[in-house]
Amino acid sequence: MKPTIDQTTFGSITIEGTVFAHDVMIRQSGQVKKRKKKLSKALYGTSHILSQDEAKYVYEKGAKRLIIGTGQYGNVRLSDEAAEYFQQKQCQVDLLPTPLAIQTWNEANGTVISLFHVTC
């Protein structure tokens, strides 16, 4: 079951009434997990660039669409390697500021997964 995202503010996201004060991923099963941003930060010194290692962690077999909330001000982006990885997996990636990504997530159908950055 795909959970509904209630809202976001700088530094948090509320999913089905539960407030998370960190970046999250939502799996195909609807499970909400903490983002492993260390996979990107170790390589780039920031969690604002999604590395190929993190892309491999985020991706789930069969996912056709990944919605990424790029932060309140849209600062997150894919590395070239991560973009190529998702392209090879034939997984469409939507990069949107987190408030818009939430709306997109709530309206999405099909095999969709997500990652939401909750700060900048």
pLDDT at residue 1 in the model: 80
Domain count, the chain: 1
The answer to whether 116 and 102 are in contact (CB under 8 A) is yes
- Phi, psi (degrees; rounded to nearest 5) at 14: -110, 120
Q: Which of 28, 23, 25 is nearest to 11 (CA)?
A: 23
pLDDT at residue 12 in the model: 98
Those residues whose C-beta lies under 8 Å from the C-beta of residue 30, and which sit 6 or more positions away, are 1, 2, 3
**CA dist., res. 120 & res. 118, Å (int):** 7
pLDDT at residue 49 in the model: 98
Q: Which pair of structure tokens corresponds to residue 48?
A: 């604002």
Residue 22 belongs to domain spanning: 5-117
The answer to whether 86 and 55 are in contact (CB under 8 A) is yes
The CATH number of residue 67's host domain is 3.40.1230.10
pLDDT at residue 86 in the model: 98
pLDDT at residue 118 in the model: 97
Q: Which residues of the chain have pLDDT under 70?
A: none
